Structures are given as structure tokens and as C-alpha cells.
């Protein structure tokens, strides 16, 4: 059993996924006219169309049986099952229990199976196929754990290195499975009701040591999303592990009529590579690199099951909320990822420095979130969590929220692979996350356009809604006015856009509304990043107003009764304010984004311990504050 | 954990004995030397401990029945898999074998297509599964702070003959002020459970009603249309019915195949007379 799980764990790390990207935005304010250039004309609008845009929620990062690192852990559900789960149907986890989506159906959902060896393992395990006759297939599905481990590690190493295992690299089979995933997305896409995209994951990993025979390394995964029709074949690491080659391919596909974006994910475990200040091959960055990266990767995943990538306490020592669901183990191993070059806020700052020094910024991306579930259905609620690696982390014992059987508490846990993997990996994973988009209607075009505009926000699971605008006349707007959203679009720019300087001090409208079915809100913050520093301002509080010197809200008294996981104290249904930056410098670029905090709630590991009647795991937090992060608004001085 | 289980274990054994009365059909089968599944009290203690650790509570009679049935099923399936030439000894392998056998069985399940009459009868018997949700069309005015006087005054103004632009009244609402044919569960997603319960109890009327409380504040509402949950016509959703039937059919066939395998085995429980 232990041996089996050690092989499982080796694979677990692979289970990291990718995100999508959007093209670079010019340094021009494109959003002021937003209300008039809505794409759909009246006749083709779907029910629910709104000029002032609706908040839609979705998960764009889901694996099914066609991903090699899902199938090996007994995942047998398909893309069709995935979409049915997102629409509210109950499906089963490979460990046998039922999974139903928390918080009701989602508005959009996307299957992103690994392109490398897409659908090859299922074929290897199907009698009568050519692939099932391979000696490797016999090993992969034998009962000898050493053989399974060796066969599976070999696949992981191939995905990482980009050196194909020729006998398994059956392009015809992969294309046909890709066509099945595309067909499932088409079948479930229902304009006005539910949106899907054809998508896959590009599974690039940097090597820690050349020639190593496993998957260990820095995560450079991306998910690639097609706006409409998709090409017949997916570009994978078996074509090239270099993400810049992926961008070249996407540029070519775009020219051929297949518009797409790629979204990187888990920069937190990229070993400093996701936002490094060199190209993949170690050359200096230049304007062409920045243009191509922004054209193809306008968004980045900020939070998912394998932790958050916003910032790290070592990078943001003055941010009291920075130490949140930090996960730092490289894929498939226990080694710790380098911090510098791995986090979003630092990338925003480095982008501004590059802009000042060299005139380009390759890191002007917006934010989204996803689960990266490898069991077809995402687990977004702390009180109903099932992690993501099939049978490997499908129970409280294997993910370490309860003591190993035989021990009544956390002292003297046995030294075995299950306990170690739970300590290093699974216990530190998160019930996260979801993407929110502001779009006129729930259609592919409207949602994809929102991705391109970066009018998106990331949440750690709840469906709180956040609007964020900047403008020079917003200070005069009555925030109580019934038509506030319309006014804000008419007088300002929304999240994801640039605000061009005109010598005046801008005002920011920060507006958050709670998820009616999760905890109430505690505070809304603006995070400001410049080329020389960062600052976190509380701007709207549940109780009172922020202290003008410390920029902090008073304690609102919200807490959690740890004997029942019941929330105590009140919170806000809405937080809404017009804010001006007390340290504004009209001559300096600055990047502003909003972070909204819920009141504290029990972490998933605490819920599971409570149900088990054992003490919560001591080396992870007992409570968390769920949160949302918006895409930034970039202030650009008039003189530039 | 040992002491914790002392007492419950007694319950466990007693309840297991009772439950085994229900499994008499197993023993009706011919007993062969390799077709007996013996469950010792140590096995039961282990199952009880595992259950307690995983579920966080002591097993009740139903749980015990489930555990024993699972155990028997896994054992029977893994023996069957071994007969096909696979062999190894630890728990994970056995579970894997049973799972493999299960997959094999489901691959074998035939894709039957039911005839018209059978499908219609099945639909009639299972129509609740296909219920179309209740829907509501309404306008609302949002008041972010609960304020009885303000709500009452506004309601009077709205229902008077004076010209009022409802769209400009109340506080800013971040989402929409008017919803058309919103399914019941969407009202929960947007406004919370309490709001749903309240508005679906109101009548569709020409005047404004309220205030209605939600997780977001209070609302004055004008209910334009209320459509109760309903069962769609068979013909309108025939493809869905057939897909569902197929899914059920697969499950039924799988359960049947597994039942047949399990029934080849004979179950004995230590310390208990066979029935």
C-alpha cells in the first residue's frame, strides 16, 4: 500500500496545470466607450444580456480520464461528465463517494486535459488496441508496483523533457481524443445558459537536473483556450517544452483563424521561472517578447488547489494577509520552489521596472482562478472538500486532515509515505478557486472578450462579486445612486484597463458584494504596486472607516467557534467606496488591484478534523479568510 | 481509539449479526472450498476503526451493513480477478483488482435501446428526475440597510398613482434590477435561501410588495410572473430521458453482474451462526 502511494505521489506533482493568456493591450484607454461597443446587436442577444455586464463564474481548469496523471489514479469520468457536474448533476469520485458542486451550477466550465499523451493511457488499458500490446502498457497496468512506478515515471519524465516515448506518441490517437474533447465542449455550450471552450493544457516543466527520471521541476504549465473553432491538433511539450514556441504556434493559429489565449498557472511552484527576467533560453527580454507574451497570455491564474500565487510573506513582509495558503513544493518532489520570480505582485513590480528602464512590460496580465481538479469536478467549499488526485488524496487520512489510523492525535505519527505526502503536499492544498468575469451575456464571445479585456477577478472559492473602476470624475459620483454601474462605465475604466494620466488625481470606485451562501465580507483593500514598492490600503470596512494613518480597518469582531465551525459576529453584505490614493504621484506608473476579504471561516482540514472528533492538524491554519483578487488598473502618466 | 471502540464494537457485532439475516440468499448457493468469504471479528474491528477514522463518527447499523457488503463485494471481485490470472496480496492491490473488475464489467454492459413504450413507462415512474424548476420574473428595488420607514414610504410611493421611475429608486444594486424566468436555484445563488423561500410564496401582482429580506439587504419586489415547477412533456425531452435511461441501465447491469459474482461466494462471520 505504501509503495503504491509513493508512486502515486510522484505523479501527484504532475497534476499541476496551466492557464490561458491574452494579447498585449496598447497603452491606450480602451474601456471608456465600453457601453457602446458591446459586440452583440439586439437581435442576437441572449436572455440576461446587460449593458452594465453580469458577473459570471466558472472553472477553466479541469482534467478527465484523458489526462495521463488522472487515469493512472483511477479517474474514468469523461469531459461529458465534467460538464454535467458543472451544470449541477452529481457524479462519483474514483474513490466511490458522490461529488456535487458547491454553491450551485457554474456559468462556464472548461476541460483542459494534458495534451501530452492525451487519451493514450486509456487506450493502453483497452484490450485489443495496438497501445495495449506494448510491454510498457503491461507494466503500467500490472500489479507490480515497481513496474507501475517505472512506467509512469517514464511518462512524467518524457512530458518534462519534451523527448517523446515514440511507441506511445500516437498522434492519430491523440488527435482523435482531442476531437472528442472538442465535441463534448461543443455539445454542452449553450449560449445564454452555459459556456464551454475547447481547451487543453501545455505541460512544460523546467528540469532540476538534466537526465533525471521523474517529473520534478519548476512548473511552467499553461492552459490554451480557443475562442471558437479549434485546430485538429494541440501543440504540446512533445513539440517543444519552450512556452515561447507555444506562443509562435498560437500566433500562427490565430492567423489561420483559430483565436486563442493561454493562461499560466502555479507560478508559485515554478521555481522562479514563470516570471523570470530572461527568456526560456536565458536571453535578455525585449519588446518583441513582451508583445508576444501579452498577446498570447493576458491572464494568469492567481489561486487554485495547489496554493495561491498572489504574493509570499517573504516578498511582502508588510502585508498582514500575505501568508495565505502558501504552497511551495515543486511538482512531484518535496523540494522547495524558489520564491523570487514565482509571484504575481513581484511580477507586476518587475514589469513596471522594465517599463521604466527599457520601455516594455511583459507582465501586464489580469487575474483568474481555477481548481485544477483531476477528478472531473472541482471542490470549492471548505466544508465539502475532496482535493484533486483521484484515489491518492480521496480521504481525510490520505490528505492528512486527521491522524493516521491507530493514532488518536498528532503526536507520534508513523513515518510512512502516506503521512509524509500528506504533510509535504496534500494537507497544504486548498479548496480553491473560481474565475469571475464581467460580461454582457453568458456566451463564448462575450466571456472570451472579457478575458481579452482582463475584466476578470479571481476568488478562492466563494462567489463574491467585485467591481473596480478608476476615473477622474468618479469622485463626484453618488455611490448611492441606483445607476452607479452605468455611471461608472461612462465616467471611468474598469478592471483590466489602463488609466491614462491627465495631471489630476484619479478616484477609484471599489464595490464588493458578498456571496449570499458563504461568509459575509470583512474589508476591501487596494493593493498598489510601483517600480519601487508596494502598499496595501484598507479602503472599505464592515465596521467604521479605515484609520487615516495606518490604513487599517478596526477589528470587526468576526470569529469562528472552533467547536462547531460556526461563524460568530457580523459582516458586511456590501462594501462600497470611492477612494483616492493618499500617496498618489501623477508622474509615476502604478498598478492597482483590489483584494476583498470574507470573515474568517474554518479551513477544510478543520472541518474534516471536527467531523472526525480529532484535533485539527497543527501545522496548517485552522481558519482562513476567503478572498477575491481583481485584475489591476494600470495608471500611466500623461508625460509618457 | 481502542478504548473508544470497545463499546461500539459490541454494537457493531450485534448489529452485524442481525444484518446477516438479510444475506441469506448468498448461502443458498452451493458452498465450495474457495467460495467462502470468512469475516473474522478482527476484520470487523478493523473495518470499524477505519470507518471511525475516515468518517469521524461511529458506524450505525446501516453503515455496518454497507461496510460488510463492500468488503464482500471487493473480496468476491478480487478473487474473480485472480482467477483471471492476476495475483498479489495487499489491500490496495485487492481494491485495485476489484476496481479493475468493475471497469471490465461496465465495459461489458450492453447499450440497449428501450422501445417506446418501455421508455414512456420508465419516464412516468421517474418523472420527478426531469422536473423543470419553478421560475420567477420580477423587478426589485434594493435597500442596502434595513430601514422600515424608508421601505414603507417607498412602497406607498410606488403603489400610488404618482409617476415614479422605479429604476432610479433605492440604492445601487451591483447586478440586475429585473430578472426574467429566473430558475428557483438561481434565486438562491444570487440572493440566498431566505429570499427564495419568501418570493416564491408571494403572488404575481400588479403592485409592489415587500420588503423582502435577502442575504444582501432588503428589497421591494414586483412579481411579474410565477411559474411553478412542472414535469415536461415526454416528447419534448425524449433524448434526455433516453440518456438517463441508458445511465440507469448501465448501473443496473453493473449491479446485476456484480451481484452474480458475489452470489457465487458464501459468507461466514466469526462467532455467528450461518443462516
A102-150 pLDDT, tens digit per residue, is 999 999 999 999 999 999 999 999 988 999 999 999 999 887 778 888 8
- Closest residue in B to A51 (Cα) is B176
Q: What is residue B6's predicted lDDT score, i.e. its pLDDT?
A: 47
Q: What is residue B45's predicted lDDT score, i.e. its pLDDT?
A: 78
CA distance B136 to chain A (A): 13
- Closest residue in A to B50 (Cα) is A405
Inter-chain touch A513–B175, beta carbons under 8 Å: yes
Q: Which member of A397, A465, A481 has the closest CB to residue B172?
A: A481
Inter-chain touch B188–A465, beta carbons under 8 Å: no
Contacts of A409 in chain B (CB under 8 A): none
Residue B111, C-beta contacts closer than 8 angstroms, at least 6 positions apart: B246
- Closest residue in B to A510 (Cα) is B174
Beta bridge pairs of residue B267: B37
Q: What's the residue count for chain A?
A: 640
Average pLDDT for B260-273: 74
CA distance B273 to chain A (A): 31
> What Rg, from alpha-carbon coordinates, does chain B have?
29
Average pLDDT for A312-332: 95
Q: Which member of A47, A143, A612 has the closest CB to residue B93?
A: A143
Percent of chain A with pLDDT over 90: 80
Contacts of A55 in chain B (CB under 8 A): 174-175
Q: Is it the case that residue A373 has pLDDT exceeding 90?
A: yes
pTM: 0.82
Average pLDDT for B212-230: 94
Quick: pLDDT tens for A417-444: 889 999 999 999 999 999 999 999 999 9
CA distance B140 to chain A (A): 11
Where would I find the beta strands (DSSP E) of B131-259? 135-143, 178-183, 209-214, 217-227
Residue B111 Cα distances to A314, B103, B129, B254, angstroms: 58, 15, 21, 12
- Residue A426 has what DSSP assignment? G
Q: Which member of B53, B99, B172 has the closest CB to residue A482?
A: B172
Sheet holding A299-304, edge to edge: A307-308, A299-304, A366-369
- Provide the pLDDT confidence category of residue A20 given band limits of 50, 70 and 90: very low
Domains of chain B, first to last: 129-227 (3.10.50.40)
CA distance B143 to chain A (A): 10
Inter-chain touch A105–B86, beta carbons under 8 Å: no
Q: What is residue A144's predicted lDDT score, i.e. its pLDDT?
A: 78
- Provide the pLDDT confidence category of residue A486 given band limits of 50, 70 and 90: very high
Give the range among A124-128, A322-326, B127-131 with minimum mean pLDDT: B127-131
Label residue A391 exposed, middle or buried (CB < 10 Å: 0-12, 13-18, 19+). buried
Reported ipTM: 0.84
Q: What is residue A311's predicted lDDT score, i.e. its pLDDT?
A: 98
Quick: pLDDT tens for A511-551: 999 999 999 999 999 999 999 999 999 999 999 999 999 99
CA distance A290 to chain B (A): 35
Closest to A603 in 3D by CA, of A431, A464, A435: A431
Q: What is residue A142's predicted lDDT score, i.e. its pLDDT?
A: 83
Q: Please tell me which residue, A274 or B26, carries the higher pLDDT value.
A: A274
> Is A437 in a helix, a strand, or coil?
strand
Give start and end residues of each alpha helix (H) in B84-170: 91-108, 116-125, 148-159
Contacts of B170 in chain A (CB under 8 A): 482
Average pLDDT for A317-328: 97
Quick: pLDDT tens for A154-188: 998 899 889 999 999 999 999 999 999 999 999 99
Contacts of A48 in chain B (CB under 8 A): 176, 180
Tell me the backbone φ, ψ of residue A136, rounded to 5 degrees: -60, -35
Long-range contacts of A82-90 (CB under 8 A, 24+ apart): A82/A109, A82/A111, A82/A184, A82/A376, A82/A377, A83/A109, A83/A111, A83/A184, A83/A185, A83/A187, A83/A188, A83/A194, A83/A196, A84/A188, A85/A376, A85/A377, A86/A58, A86/A59, A86/A194, A86/A377, A87/A188, A87/A194, A88/B185
Inter-chain touch A50–B176, beta carbons under 8 Å: yes
CA angle B15, B16, B20 (to 5 degrees): 120
CA distance A281 to chain B (A): 43
Report the residue of A574, A611, A615, A628 to disrupt the B interface, i.e. the one with the largest count of B CBs within 10 Å.
A574
Amino acid at each position: 500500500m505504501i509503495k503504491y502511494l509513493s508512486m502515486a505521489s510522484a505523479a501527484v506533482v504532475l497534476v499541476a496545470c496551466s492557464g490561458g493568456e491574452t494579447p498585449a493591450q496598447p497603452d491606450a484607454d480602451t474601456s471608456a466607450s465600453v457601453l457602446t461597443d458591446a459586440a452583440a446587436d439586439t437581435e442576437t442577444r441572449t436572455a440576461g444580456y446587460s449593458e452594465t455586464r453580469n458577473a459570471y463564474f466558472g472553472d477553466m481548469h479541469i482534467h478527465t480520464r484523458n489526462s495521463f496523471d488522472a487515469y493512472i489514479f483511477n479517474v474514468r469520468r469523461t469531459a461529458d461528465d465534467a460538464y454535467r457536474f458543472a451544470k449541477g448533476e452529481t457524479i462519483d469520485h474514483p474513490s466511490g463517494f458522490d461529488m456535487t458542486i458547491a454553491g450551485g451550477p457554474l456559468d462556464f466550465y472548461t476541460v483542459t486535459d494534458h495534451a501530452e499523451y492525451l487519451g493514450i493511457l486509456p487506450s493502453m488499458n483497452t484490450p485489443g488496441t495496438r497501445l495495449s500490446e506494448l510491454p510498457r502498457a503491461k507494466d503500467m497496468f500490472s500489479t507490480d508496483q515497481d513496474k507501475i512506478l517505472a512506467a509512469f515515471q517514464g511518462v512524467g519524465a518524457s512530458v518534462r523533457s519534451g523527448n517523446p516515448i515514440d511507441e506511445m506518441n500516437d498522434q492519430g490517437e491523440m488527435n482523435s481524443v482531442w476531437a472528442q474533447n472538442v465535441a463534448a465542449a461543443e455539445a454542452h455550450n449553450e449560449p445564454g445558459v452555459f459556456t464551454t471552450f475547447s481547451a487543453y493544457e501545455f505541460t512544460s516543466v523546467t528540469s532540476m537536473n538534466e537526465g533525471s527520471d521523474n517529473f520534478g521541476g519548476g512548473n511552467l504549465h499553461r492552459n490554451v483556450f480557443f475562442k471558437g473553432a479549434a485546430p485538429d491538433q494541440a501543440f504540446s511539450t512533445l513539440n517543444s517544452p519552450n512556452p515561447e514556441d507555444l506562443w509562435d504556434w498560437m500566433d500562427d493559429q490565430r492567423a489561420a483563424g483559430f483565436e486563442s489565449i493561454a493562461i499560466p498557472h502555479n507560478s508559485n511552484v515554478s521555481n522562479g521561472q514563470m516570471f523570470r527576467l530572461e527568456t526560456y533560453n536565458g536571453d535578455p527580454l525585449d519588446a518583441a517578447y513582451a508583445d508576444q507574451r501579452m498577446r498570447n497570455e493576458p491572464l494568469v491564474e492567481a489561486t487554485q488547489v495547489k496554493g495561491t500565487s498572489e504574493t509570499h510573506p517573504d516578498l511582502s513582509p508588510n502585508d498582514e494577509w500575505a501568508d495565505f495558503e502558501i504552497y511551495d513544493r515543486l511538482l512531484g518532489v518535496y523540494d522547495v520552489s524558489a520564491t523570487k520570480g514565482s509571484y504575481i505582485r513581484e511580477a507586476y513590480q518587475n514589469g513596471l521596472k522594465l517599463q521604466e528602464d527599457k520601455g516594455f512590460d511583459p507582465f501586464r496580465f489580469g487575474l483568474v482562478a481555477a481548481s485544477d481538479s483531476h477528478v472531473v469536478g472541482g471542490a470549492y467549499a471548505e466544508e465539502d472538500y475532496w482535493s484533486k488526485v483521484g484515489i491518492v488524496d480521496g480521504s481525510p487520512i490520505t490528505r492528512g486532515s486527521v491522524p493516521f489510523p491507530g493514532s488518536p492525535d498528532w503526536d507520534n505519527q508513523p513515518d510512512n509515505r502516506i503521512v509524509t505526502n500528506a504533510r509535504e503536499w496534500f494537507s497544504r492544498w486548498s479548496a480553491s478557486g473560481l474565475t469571475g468575469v464581467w460580461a454582457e451575456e453568458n456566451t463564448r464571445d462575450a466571456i472570451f472578450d472579457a478575458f481579452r479585456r482582463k475584466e476578470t477577478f479571481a476568488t478562492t472559492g466563494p462567489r463574491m462579486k467585485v467591481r473596480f473602476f478608476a476615473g477622474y470624475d468618479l469622485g463626484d459620483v453618488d455611490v448611492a445612486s441606483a445607476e452607479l454601474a452605468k455611471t461608472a462605465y461612462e465616467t471611468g475604466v474598469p478592471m483590466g484597463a489602463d488609466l491614462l494620466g491627465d495631471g489630476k488625481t484619479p478616484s477609484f470606485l471599489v464595490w464588493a458584494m458578498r456571496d449570499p451562501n458563504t461568509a459575509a465580507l470583512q474589508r476591501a483593500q487596494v493593493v498598489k504596486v510601483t517600480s519601487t514598492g508596494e502598499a496595501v490600503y484598507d479602503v472599505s470596512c464592515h465596521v467604521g472607516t479605515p484609520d487615516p494613518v495606518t490604513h487599517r480597518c478596526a477589528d470587526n469582531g468576526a470569529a469562528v467557534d472552533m467547536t462547531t465551525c460556526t461563524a460568530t459576529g457580523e459582516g458586511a453584505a456590501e462594501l462600497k467606496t470611492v477612494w483616492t490614493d493618499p500617496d498618489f504621484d501623477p508622474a509615476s506608473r502604478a498598478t492597482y488591484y483590489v483584494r476583498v476579504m470574507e470573515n474568517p471561516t474554518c479551513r477544510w482540514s478543520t472541518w474534516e478534523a471536527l467531523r472526525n472528533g480529532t484535533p485539527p492538524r497543527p501545522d496548517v491554519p485552522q481558519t482562513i479568510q476567503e478572498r477575491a483578487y481583481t485584475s489591476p488598473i494600470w495608471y500611466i502618466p500623461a508625460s509618457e | 481509539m481502542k478504548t473508544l471502540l470497545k463499546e461500539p464494537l459490541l454494537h457493531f457485532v450485534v448489529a452485524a449479526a442481525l444484518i446477516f439475516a438479510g444475506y441469506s440468499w448468498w448461502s443458498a448457493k452451493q458452498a465450495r472450498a474457495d467460495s467462502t468469504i470468512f469475516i473474522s471479528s478482527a476484520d470487523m474491528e478493523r473495518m470499524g476503526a477505519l470507518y471511525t477514522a475516515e468518517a469521524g463518527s461511529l458506524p450505525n447499523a446501516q453503515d455496518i451493513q454497507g461496510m460488510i457488503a463492500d468488503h464482500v463485494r471487493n473480496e468476491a471481485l478480487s478473487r474473480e480477478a485472480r482467477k483471471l490470472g492476476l495475483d498479489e496480496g495487499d489491500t490496495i492491490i485487492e481494491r485495485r483488482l476489484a476496481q479493475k473488475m468493475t471497469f471490465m464489467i461496465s465495459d461489458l454492459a450492453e447499450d440497449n435501446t428501450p422501445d417506446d413504450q418501455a421508455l414512456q413507462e420508465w419516464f412516468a415512474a421517474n418523472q420527478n428526475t426531469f422536473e423543470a424548476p419553478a421560475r420567477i420574473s420580477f423587478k426589485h428595488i434594493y435597500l442596502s440597510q434595513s430601514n422600515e420607514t424608508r421601505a414603507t414610504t417607498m412602497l406607498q410611493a410606488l403603489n400610488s398613482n404618482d409617476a415614479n421611475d422605479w429604476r432610479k429608486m433605492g440604492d445601487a444594486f451591483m447586478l440586475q434590477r429585473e430578472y426574467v424566468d429566473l430558475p428557483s436555484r438561481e434565486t438562491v445563488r444570487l440572493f440566498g435561501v431566505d429570499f427564495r423561500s419568501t418570493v416564491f410564496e408571494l403572488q404575481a401582482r400588479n403592485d409592489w410588495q415587500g420588503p423582502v429580506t435577502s442575504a444582501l439587504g432588503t428589497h421591494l419586489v414586483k412579481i411579474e410572473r410565477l411559474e411553478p415547477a412542472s414535469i415536461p412533456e415526454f416528447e419534448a425531452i425524449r433524448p434526455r430521458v433516453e440518456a438517463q435511461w441508458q445511465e440507469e441501465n448501465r448501473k443496473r447491469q453493473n449491479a446485476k453482474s456484480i451481484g452474480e459474482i458475489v452470489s457465487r461466494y458464501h459468507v461466514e462471520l466469526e462467532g455467528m451462526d450461518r443462516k
